[in-house]
Amino acid sequence: MKAKILLGLGASLVGLVGLGAVLASCARAETGLQGRAKAEFADRCTSLKGRQLGGATIEKAKFVTRNSMLLPVPLLNSPEFCRVTARIAPVQGSQITVELWLPSRWNQKLVGLGGAGFEGALSITNILMRRPVSDGYAAVATDAGHDVDKLPKWALGHPEKIVDFGYRANHLGAVIGKAVVAEFYGAPAKRAYFWGCSNGGRDALMLAQRYPQDFDAIAVGAPANNFTARMAAFSQTRLDFNGDAGKGLSSKLELLNAAAIATCDGLDGVTDGLIERPDACQFDPAQLQCKSGDSKSCLTRAEVALARSVYRGTIGRDGKQIMSGFPVGSELGWKPPKPDQNMGTSFYRYMVFNNADWSPDTFMLDRDLATARKKLSHVVDATDPDLSPFLGRGGKLLMYHGWDDPAIPLGDTLAYYEAVRKTVGAQNAKNAQLFLLPGVEHCGQGKGPDEFDFFAQLDRWTQSGSAPERFTVTKHDNRVAFYAQLPTKALRTRPACAWPKAAHYKGAGSIDDANNFECR
């Protein structure tokens, strides 16, 4: 599950390394500044170096021309911009790196990007910043207060770095971003938007809860906002799958998934391999139970029981749910990773117990979750449903989650959304919308349409004042190429419908065309 929780782009981004030759022949033909204007922009950019802005020191400021190579993922650049690196040390034990891309043709708006896994967004800025900066947005991201590491060893003995990761880095990124933008362009940003998915979704909700003035609209994808519970659930799932039943079920997940889809696929009026509303599906894995013995084409009694427990969720000794179960249709991602690749193991080793030798085999759900909550809930959990300060000032919250997500259960996002609407009152609740995407895994991927322009939706909503009830989501033939701004083919489109509505086929026309579906 770790690769999936990193962003949804995670494993796919590795494929970008082999795209160099293709990228060289497919660079976008885009009009940038010319002659004296370009020279003046470049001079204004480099003159930022050494300045103190927003409490940070500008360490680097470089003019980046179109079609230059960007690293660490080798991609040709399409927008023309000023690339700024700043550092700030707000307290002893903390040092945060902030990066900004300032386009030559600015639309007077700023966007911020959330992180992934235990990281900030700096390692993939040249993927995630390309599109918004090409559209004229200034963009800001942070390293979440630490260097990139396969494991969060940076947290050992460094509580302030955990605070940076928890909430401080992105807030200071917003403060610094606004200060640099105002100085560079000679005017403040008229609007500021933020987007993040997975841990970036937690980042996004943390900003809405703690710093309601930082951004005007926020897009939240599959948020890991109940972080301590999610890490405990990861650890418990590892133990659950460590026995014979888990090993057996892990080899039969395709069988289980196929049966689930066969049972529930047609509920939206069309058989297309997607379960539109898994919550309306009556599927019991017992229908696959072996009549006698065991085989690859059936589930043992113990495997059926384990599958039911995954659907049910993580439950404490008191019978209360700690983490929602995974919906029908998400089965292909249930197999947990190896201990050293399990985010739960890393969380307890490096953040909770401060012991790199802690063994995940000693994990006890109720005891260790209580320890984690006592020590870190106030730092890393973003579960406060009272978004009145943010929504009440006109802030917009657009949440989305894939039904087939095998990393963060959609049920927790739905529960949080309903809690927000109940807490903030009817008037403020109009500024929050939730969209659930069928067939979509963690932050994308899967069979379902998984791409839409987050910032365009936020901007349209903010400018018009009308909450989106429906927008089109697309499935591309190459998701990596889509983010790299290379030509792609749209395989399927589908309307995303504001909860509790869902897309239903009208009965005629291509099932791969969103126009042939209605929200009801």
Count of domains for the chain: 2
Q: What is the mean pLDDT of the chain?
A: 90
- Pairing of the two strands 470-476 and 503-505: unpaired
Q: Is the model more confident about 122 or about 435?
A: 435
Q: 272 and 134 in one domain? A: no
For residue 248, tell me if it sits in a domain.
yes
Q: Same structural domain for residues 184 and 38?
A: yes
Residue-wise pLDDT tens digits, 347-374? 999 999 999 999 999 999 999 999 999 9
Enclosing domain of residue 157 = 31-65+79-189
HEC per residue, 150-213? CCCHHHCCCHHHHHHHHHHHHHHHHHHHHHHHHHHHCCCCCEEEEEEECHHHHHHHHHHHHCCC
C-alpha–C-alpha distance, residues 39 and 24, integer Å: 25
Distance CA 395, CA 431 (A): 7
pLDDT band at 166 (very low <50, low <70, confident <90, very high): very high
- The token pair at 455 is 């910032």
146 and 259 both lie in a single domain: no
Asked if residue 390 belongs to a domain, the reply is no
Does this model's pTM top 0.85? yes
On whether residue 56 sits in a domain, the answer given is yes
240, 152: one domain = no
pLDDT at 8 over 90: no
**Percent of the chain residues past pLDDT 90, beyond the cut:** 78
Q: Are residues 43 and 174 in the same domain?
A: yes
Task: Compute the Cα dihedral for 54, 456, 436, 252 and give only its sign.
Answer: negative
Q: DSSP characters for 457-474?
A: HHHHHHHH-PPPSEEEEE
DSSP label at 340? G
Q: Is residue 338 part of a domain?
A: yes
Residue 351 domain flag? yes
Q: What 3-state DSSP class applies to 260?
A: helix
Q: How confident is the model at residue 341 (pLDDT cuts 50, 70, 90)?
A: confident
Same domain, 183 and 240: no
Q: What is the model's pLDDT at position 387?
A: 98
pLDDT surpassing 50 at residue 36: yes
Separation of alpha carbons 74 and 480, rounded Å: 13
